[in-house]
Amino acid sequence: MRKIRIGTRKSRLACIQAQMVADYIETHCEGYEAELVTVMTTGDRILSKRLDEIGGKGLFVKELDTFLLEGYTDLSVHSLKDMPMEIAPNIPIIGYSAREDARDVLVLPEGTTEYEYGGPIGCSSNRRSLQLKKIYPNAELQTIRGNVLTRLEKLDGGEYGALVLAAAGLKRLGLEGRISRYFTTKEMVPAAGQGILCIQGRAEEDYGFLQGFFDEKAKECAIAERAYIAYLNGGCSCPIGVYAEHLDEKWMRVRGLYYNDETGEYGKMCISGDRSQAEGLGVSLAQELKRNVDWIF
């Protein structure tokens, strides 16, 4: 029996997501068993500052990368939206899960049904803040850090009047009932990779036993979205969003949000094309938005 040690962050959501892979291994991979190895990352320890102030998304993966490289774990499970664009070639992404709901959502304090501007809206990214200013132009927006459960405690404790969170995380935590409003992917373009899990492994290892867990459509969406971000050099602090979806068995659509930090102009646009050209679609959309951001919303 070969034991597969799965590296994950310590939060409840991260462990639930890693357990999805562990459950697949236990039930579908004869001759294998799985064990979770939890790791406290720098991004989880430093909660008093925005991510762009302390080093960006890489702070959620650095320690997990070390465990994987040094052989303490056999693979890592990440939320794809937390993955930096540059990934070491010796620990590549080896596959992607089927996508959960990619939308952002509004969450209100328990017992309320409408946002009444009684407190700031807590959100964790410039991407969300930029788009919220159009949806709720009179609202105060305030940064919030910490895992989902910590944020909900602060909301219910009266520190915030509402939160914007990812639907995927709430659903995986069994907290779908806390969702008060779903934002469409047009009014609130998600973060690249939102709702998708990625599995990272060592380049020389054989992970063929996981092929049944991987999802080809999610992979194509991930490729398109990350190509878009890579072309625009979008970091954690840059208000850039992108969402790819399949229209049918041949075509996919990619929608993007682009912000020019030199001019303060931003815009949204979508393009459609053959899903086999996912990377090219992401790049083409980035080129068009960057070229026309001054007149597109």
> Helices (DSSP H) in the chain: which residue ranges?
12-28, 42-45, 51-54, 62-69, 126-135, 148-156, 167-172, 216-232, 278-292
Task: Output phi, psi for 20, to 5 deg.
Answer: -60, -40
**CB 165, CB 121: distance < 8 Å:** no
Q: Which residues pair with 143 in a beta bridge?
A: 123
Maximum distance among all alpha carbons in the chain? 60
Q: Which residues pair with 52 in a beta bridge?
A: none
Catalytic positions:
82
Q: Which residues pair with 257 in a beta bridge?
A: 241, 268
Q: How far is CA 156 from CA 98, 152, 268, in A?
A: 32, 6, 33
Burial of 129 (0-12, 13-18, 19+ CB in 10 A): middle
Number of Cβ atoms within 10 Å of the Cβ of 35: 12
Dist. CA 95–CA 22, nearest whole Å: 15
Torsion of CA 148, 156, 160, 116, to 10 degrees: 120
